[in-house]
Structure 1
Amino acid sequence: MKPRLYFLVLVALFLATLACNIPWAPVLETPPPEPTVAITVVEPTPLPPTETLEPAEPTPLPPTETLEPEPPPATLTVEPTPEFFACSQEMLPGIAFGVEFCYPKVYSNGFSQSLIPEFRPEGGDPPAMDSHPDMIEIILTGYPVSNVYHRPAVRIYPVQGYMALNPYIQNMVIELQALLNSGDLHPTGSIPFVPIFNAAQMMRAQIKYLDFQNGKGVRFITQYGQAAVPISNDSAFYAFIGLTDDGAYFLSATMPIAHLWFVDDGLIEPAEGWSAFSEYFEIYIAEVEAGMLTQPADAFTPDLTHLDAMMESFLIPPGVIP
C-alpha cells in the first residue's frame, strides 16, 4: 500500500472514533414509518329480489255528519221611519192592524182598535142599511165631545166586500169618485157616505177636500135625522169619506163636533114651536151652512185643523183586510 493512501485511511478512522465519543453530537432519529391506510373496496351485495306490492287501499274515514253552515247571528234591523209617519208635536203615532196614522194628543189619551167581522142580517130586500163587510174600527178614547148617535170612530171598509153585500155601493163609489175629481164646494144633494144611516143627511158645511197618504177624500160637518130638528151638539159630527188610490178601501170618520151656534139638545122644542120650525126648516139649514163658512177651524171643538191632520196622516196598506 502506498504510504499516502495509508495515511488517509488512518485519519478517517481517527475521525470516526472521535465522532462516536463526542457527547454533544446530535443523535439523528430515524423517522417513524408513515402510517398506511388500507382502503378496501367492497363490492355492493345485491339485495334479494323483493315482492312487488300493490298500493294499499285507503282506509275509509268514518262517516261524518254533514254540517249546515251556521246562520249569521240575528241582528235587529231598524227600518227608517217613513216621512209620512213623522207626526207633528201635537199628534201621536198609531198603528191599527197595519194601518198607520197620527191622532190628536190634546183630544185623546189613546185609541182602541177592532177587526169587526162582516154583518149581514137575515133576509131583507133591499139589503139592510146596517150590513157591512169585515172592517177595521179605530175609536179615540178620552175624546172631548160625546154624541148620542156617533162615536169618535175611523173605519176602513173593503170596497169590493161592501159591494158584494149591497149593490147600491157601486153607484156610491162612482158618485164619490166624481165628487172628489170635481172638488165642488157646493154640491147639490147628499155627499156619498158610509156607513149608511137610516136617516137623511140634513146639511153639509165646512166642505174641504183632503189627501191622505195613499188616497183622497172630503170632510164636512153634517147631521143626520129623520125629522126637522135643529143642528145640535149631541148629533152633529165631523164626517170624512175617502177612497184609496187603488179604489180598494173606503176611509170613513164620524167624529162628534160641537159649536156655540148649535143647540145642546136637538130634541128640545124650539121657542117658535115644532110646526113653525118645520115650515122654515130649509131656510134654517141654508143659514146654518152659510154661517159655518165664516167660522175658523178653532171655533169648533175639537179644532178642525187637528182632525184634518189626523185624516191626512192615514196610510192603508194593500191587503190590510183579507
Structure 2
Amino acid sequence: MHYRAIFALLLLTFSLAGAQDIPIYTVSYGDITFSFRGTVATGVDVAEEADGVNVSPFAMFPAESPAYTLFTLTGYVPNPAEDLNRDRFHAPEIRVYRIEDVMSGALDDATYASEVELLRELLETRPALDTLEHLPFLPLIPGVQTLHTRGHYLENDSIFGIAYLTHRADRAGLILEGRVLHTFQGISKDGRYYIASWLSVDSGVLPVEFSYKSDVDAIMENYDLYRNARIIALNDQPADAFYPPLPDLDAIFESFAISD
C-alpha cells in the first residue's frame, strides 16, 4: 500500500435557489468541482484513500481498490444510520479514481480496468442501457447486479457517463426499500478520472421487509417474475416521487467540472 501526497483544500459554499429557497451546496477540492441541492444532503466529507484495502465502514466486505478521492455526503436524505436495510449496504459516496491508477494493474486484478473499458465502449456506441445484461459498476464489491433500470446517458463539458438504478446482492436477494441505489459511472473528457457513486433512494413502491418465510420461499421459486415486477414498479414511479428526487441526483453529476 502506498500513500499519495495531496495538497488540496476542501471548499464548501452554498447559495439559495428557487421559490422555496432550497440551498445549493458547491464543493471545490483540487481540480474537482460539483454541486448538490439541499434536498439531497447538507454537507460533505473528503478523504484520500490509498490503494489496497477498501475500508469504508458501510461496505459489506473489505475489497482491494485502486487509490481514490472519497466524497461522503453528510446529512444525506434519507439518513443511512436510521434504516436497517440501508445501514447494511452503503454510505452515500462519490469516488474519483485516476484512470492511470486503475489501468496500471498494480493490484494484479484486471477487473477494475475491465469496467472502465466497458464504460468506454458504451459511451462510444450508445446502446439502449436497459436492454443490456450488465452495466459498469465501480467500486468492486461482492455480489451481482440483480437488476438495473432507468438507465440513461449524462454529459457536460467535463465528463460523460451513465446513470441508473441498481440493486446488488451476494445471491438472488429480496428487493427492499433502502437497498436500491442510484449510481453514476463516468469518465472525465480529458481522460484523467473515473467518477463512481452509490446513493441509496426510497422509491415509495417497494416493501420495507418480508415477515414470513413462506413469502420468501415463493419469491425465490419465481425470482425472474418477482424481479421484473419490481423493475416495472420502479419504472412507473415518477422521477420526482423518489426520495431524494432522481433529477436532483442526476444534477450532481451534470454539475461536475474538472479544471486543467
TM-score, normalisation: structure 1: 0.64
Correspondence list, 1:62-81, <5 A? none
Q: Does 1:275 align with 2:232?
A: no
1:213/1:313 contact within 8 Å kept:
no
Which residue of structure 2 aligns with residue 156 of structure 1? 96
Distance 2:173 2:164 in 1: 19
Match of 1:225 among 169, 178, 203: 169
1:213/1:312 contact within 8 Å kept:
no
Measured against aligned partners, the alpha-carbon deviations of 1:39-95 in whole angstroms (never above 9, x if no partner) come to xxxxxxxxxxxxxxxxxxxxxxxxxxxxxxxxxxxxxxxxxxxxxx99882422111
Which residue of structure 1 aligns with residue 240 of structure 2? 298
Change (3 A) 1:203 1:153: same
Give the C-alpha shift of residue 269 in structure 1. 4.8
Distance 2:192 2:246 in 1: 27
Distance 2:233 2:200 in 1: 19
Give the C-alpha shift of residue 119 in structure 1. 1.6
Which residue of structure 2 aligns with residue 113 of structure 1? 46
Which residue of structure 2 aligns with residue 11 of structure 1? none
Give the secondary structure class of the aligned counterpart of 1:203. strand
Amino acid across the alignment from 1:100: T
Q: Does 1:99 align with 2:32?
A: yes
Which residue of structure 2 aligns with residue 74 of structure 1? none
Give the secondary structure class of the aligned counterpart of 2:65. coil
Give the C-alpha shift of residue 232 in structure 1. 1.5
Amino acid across the alignment from 1:314: F
Amino acid across the alignment from 1:204: H
Match of 1:309 among 248, 251, 257: 251
Which is greater in Rg? 1
Correspondence list, 1:31-110, <5 A? 89=17, 90=22, 91-110=24-43
Give the secondary structure class of the aligned counterpart of 1:204. strand
2:205/2:237 contact within 8 Å kept:
no
Change (3 A) 1:189 1:99: same
Q: How high is the sequence identity, in percent, across the aligned residues?
A: 23
Which residue of structure 1 aligns with residue 111 of structure 2? 168
1:96/1:138 contact within 8 Å kept:
no
Measured against aligned partners, the alpha-carbon deviations of 1:170-212 in whole angstroms (never above 9, x if no partner) come to 3322211122231423232121111011001111111121114
What residue ranges of structure 2 are gaps of 5+ in the alignment? Answer: 1-12, 55-60, 81-85
Which residue of structure 1 aligns with residue 228 of structure 2? 286
Amino acid across the alignment from 1:117: A
Give the C-alpha shift of residue 120 in structure 1. 5.1
Change (3 A) 1:280 1:103: same
2:48/2:68 contact within 8 Å kept:
yes
Distance 1:302 1:105 in 2: 10
User: If each structure's strand is expressed as a fraction of its own residues, which one has the higher value?
Assistant: 2
Give the secondary structure class of the aligned counterpart of 1:186. helix
Distance 2:127 2:211 in 1: 37
Give the C-alpha shift of residue 213 in structure 1. 3.8
2:39/2:244 contact within 8 Å kept:
no
Distance 1:136 1:283 in 2: 39
Distance 1:133 1:185 in 2: 26
Amino acid across the alignment from 2:223: F
Change (3 A) 1:213 1:136: farther
Give the secondary structure class of the aligned counterpart of 1:305. helix
Change (3 A) 1:187 1:258: same
Distance 2:16 2:174 in 1: 36
Change (3 A) 1:177 1:117: same
What residue ranges of structure 1 are gaps of 5+ in the alignment? Answer: 1-84, 122-127
Which deviates more, 227-236 or 298-307? 227-236
2:112/2:140 contact within 8 Å kept:
no
Counting matched residue pairs gives 226
Amino acid across the alignment from 1:159: I
Give the secondary structure class of the aligned counterpart of 1:234. coil
Distance 1:251 1:291 in 2: 28
Which residue of structure 2 aligns with residue 257 of structure 1? 201
Give the C-alpha shift of residue 106 in structure 1. 2.7
Q: Does 1:236 align with 2:211?
A: no
